Chain A
């Protein structure tokens, strides 16, 4: 069965889109057909990491939600642009970057049934093995929708006092939505911290599985948002960690 994973964080800047893109590529490397839906309708961005020129986006998730097209028509296969040797596929469902589209969807919202229906149709028509939902930070209605339709919620946080409380809120809300599977990804961990200690304390605090403790990396920061890190640095220790995270996500 296709797994639907919502990648979420309470605050911005945790590395959500970066983690989503890297996990998507690691899963495709193992032959999986991976869909990435940019449900961050307010501030879309993952298309940049996946190498999609925004001017070439003709149809977006917004068009589907407004009944203008079928969801599969919005899909952009980015595999060849990323790495033609990937065994699987990476397909992006982008969000519109048009300001009026963003304003409209924020004003009108959209229906959970419609998003769920679209996801189902996408999985079938594109024969997807894994669907990753890149969400907007915080817990607005659109983000709650993404969490509600997911089988798994991956919550990203930094080991930072400002992230702790929000993560606790997200964990509680996701539990109330009866998300079947949930785990934490501790990202941008300073070198001074012992990863095993971070894992143990996070687990104790949230009573939630910690799937990965990813260290802060100057290499990743320098790479910035110019692409997918695991493709540029296949031998890097972060690539190994993203591979392990992909294993957990695939299940």
Chain B
């Protein structure tokens, strides 16, 4: 049974090997690009998004070690699964490649069963890595949203993509969005209340205070004098 169709690169200076591998992989349903030396392979890797690279060790121009080192040293390609191709006699070089960061190796002559298993494992690693990257990106969106809420620049709906996830992160984004919405609504109501001037007076209390002030002999005396003084003016 074939794995999910993927885009693969075969880098091998031996034309027979190259054709054999490409033909086999295409029959498995994958699309395949080929390069006949390390330099051409390195050029292609930078141009096209491959899911897995099959890389021969001994090649002219740029050998497999160099291509592998360049891939592992490149920020965007660092996690691209690389399967080294080698004969059984080259075990030492395989160990070196694994140490350099190769994911797996494929001994020559090829066994179709082993090739399929290795490709499948490489694709699984790639998918896992892609998921992890996407997850971290979306965690970043939630963190940015929290900062935006604090700064008062949060835009409702900016977490919709994360909220569509059916995992815990999606749930967090949904709850967060809901709470931010509630807070914004409450703030709006509060601002409207402030803008709308409300004058509430406890009439009973005010009347008691007036009675307290005006009920004294002093006040009655003042009232009388004020009236007299105004009349005399």
Binding site for B on A (CB under 8 A): 112-113, 116, 120, 139, 141, 144-145, 148-149, 159, 161, 164-165, 168-169, 172-173, 176-178, 180, 190, 192-193, 197-198, 201-202, 205
Tell whether, in the assembled complex, residue A116 and residue B219 are in contact, meaning their CB atoms are under 8 Å apart. no
Give bound CA distance, A180 to B231, whole Å: 12
Of A113, A176, A197, which is within 8 A of B229 by CB?
Answer: A113
Is B199 part of the binding interface, using a Cβ–Cβ cutoff of 8 Å? yes
Give bound CA distance, A205 to B200, whole Å: 9
Expressed in whole angstroms, the minimum distance between the Cβ of A188 and any Cβ of chain B is 13
The listed residue with most A CB atoms (<10 A of its CB), out of B197, B202, B205, B233, is B197
Is B201 part of the binding interface, using a Cβ–Cβ cutoff of 8 Å? yes
Is B227 part of the binding interface, using a Cβ–Cβ cutoff of 8 Å? yes
The listed residue with most A CB atoms (<10 A of its CB), out of B203, B206, B218, is B206
Give bound CA distance, A177 to B210, whole Å: 12
**Provided the pairs A169-B210, A180-B230 are in contact, do residues A161 and B200 lie with their beta carbons within 8 angstroms?**
yes
Is B225 part of the binding interface, using a Cβ–Cβ cutoff of 8 Å? yes
Task: Given A148-B226, A169-B206, output 7 extra A-B contacts at Cβ < 8 Å.
Answer: A112-B226, A141-B218, A144-B222, A169-B213, A173-B210, A178-B226, A178-B227
By a CB distance below 8 angstroms, the chain A residues around B225 are 112-113, 148
**Provided the pairs A141-B218, A176-B214 are in contact, do residues A164 and B201 lie with their beta carbons within 8 angstroms?**
yes
By a CB distance below 8 angstroms, the chain A residues around B171 are none
Of B191, B206, B226, B227, which is within 8 A of A165 by CB?
Answer: B206
> Interface SS of chain B: helix, strand, loop or mixed?
helix
Give bound CA distance, A178 to B229, whole Å: 12
**Provided the pairs A113-B225, A176-B214 are in contact, do residues A198 and B201 lie with their beta carbons within 8 angstroms?**
no
Tell whether, in the assembled complex, residue B201 and residue A205 are in contact, meaning their CB atoms are under 8 Å apart. yes
Give bound CA distance, A148 to B221, whole Å: 11
Tell whether, in the assembled complex, residue B222 and residue A177 are in contact, meaning their CB atoms are under 8 Å apart. yes
In the complex, the chain B residue whose C-beta lies closest to that of A120 is B233
Expressed in whole angstroms, the minimum distance between the Cβ of A87 and any Cβ of chain B is 27
Tell whether, in the assembled complex, residue B202 and residue A165 are in contact, meaning their CB atoms are under 8 Å apart. yes
In the complex, the chain A residue whose C-beta lies closest to that of B202 is A165
By a CB distance below 8 angstroms, the chain A residues around B191 are 192
Of A168, A177, A190, A197, which is within 8 A of B226 by CB?
Answer: A177
Tell whether, in the assembled complex, residue A192 and residue B194 are in contact, meaning their CB atoms are under 8 Å apart. yes
By a CB distance below 8 angstroms, the chain B residues around A116 are 229
Give bound CA distance, A112 to B226, whole Å: 8
Is B223 part of the binding interface, using a Cβ–Cβ cutoff of 8 Å? yes
Is B27 part of the binding interface, using a Cβ–Cβ cutoff of 8 Å? no
Tell whether, in the assembled complex, residue B205 and residue A145 are in contact, meaning their CB atoms are under 8 Å apart. no
Which chain B residues (174-233) contact chain A, with CB distance < 8 Å?
Answer: 191, 194-195, 197-203, 205-207, 209-210, 213-214, 218-219, 222-223, 225-227, 229-230, 233
Expressed in whole angstroms, the minimum distance between the Cβ of A214 and any Cβ of chain B is 15
Give bound CA distance, A192 to B200, whole Å: 19
**Provided the pairs A148-B222, A168-B206, A180-B230 are in contact, do residues A202 and B214 lie with their beta carbons within 8 angstroms?**
no
Tell whether, in the assembled complex, residue B210 and residue A172 are in contact, meaning their CB atoms are under 8 Å apart. yes
**Provided the pairs A144-B219, A193-B195 are in contact, do residues A172 and B206 lie with their beta carbons within 8 angstroms?**
yes
Expressed in whole angstroms, the minimum distance between the Cβ of A181 and any Cβ of chain B is 12
In the complex, the chain B residue whose C-beta lies closest to that of A141 is B218
Of B199, B202, B222, B233, which is within 8 A of A201 by CB?
Answer: B199
Expressed in whole angstroms, the minimum distance between the Cβ of B197 and any Cβ of chain A is 6
By a CB distance below 8 angstroms, the chain B residues around A169 are 206, 209-210, 213
By a CB distance below 8 angstroms, the chain B residues around A139 are 213
The listed residue with most A CB atoms (<10 A of its CB), out of B198, B203, B209, B218, is B209
By a CB distance below 8 angstroms, the chain A residues around B198 are 161
By a CB distance below 8 angstroms, the chain A residues around B233 are 120
**Provided the pairs A139-B213, A148-B222 are in contact, do residues A168 and B230 lie with their beta carbons within 8 angstroms?**
no
Tell whether, in the assembled complex, residue A205 and residue B210 are in contact, meaning their CB atoms are under 8 Å apart. no
Expressed in whole angstroms, the minimum distance between the Cβ of B220 and any Cβ of chain A is 10
Tell whether, in the assembled complex, residue A159 and residue B197 are in contact, meaning their CB atoms are under 8 Å apart. yes
The listed residue with most B CB atoms (<10 A of its CB), out of A145, A149, A198, is A149
By a CB distance below 8 angstroms, the chain B residues around A205 are 199, 201
7 contacting pairs across A/B (C-beta < 8 A):
A112-B229, A113-B229, A120-B233, A144-B213, A177-B222, A192-B195, A201-B197
By a CB distance below 8 angstroms, the chain A residues around B201 are 164-165, 168, 205
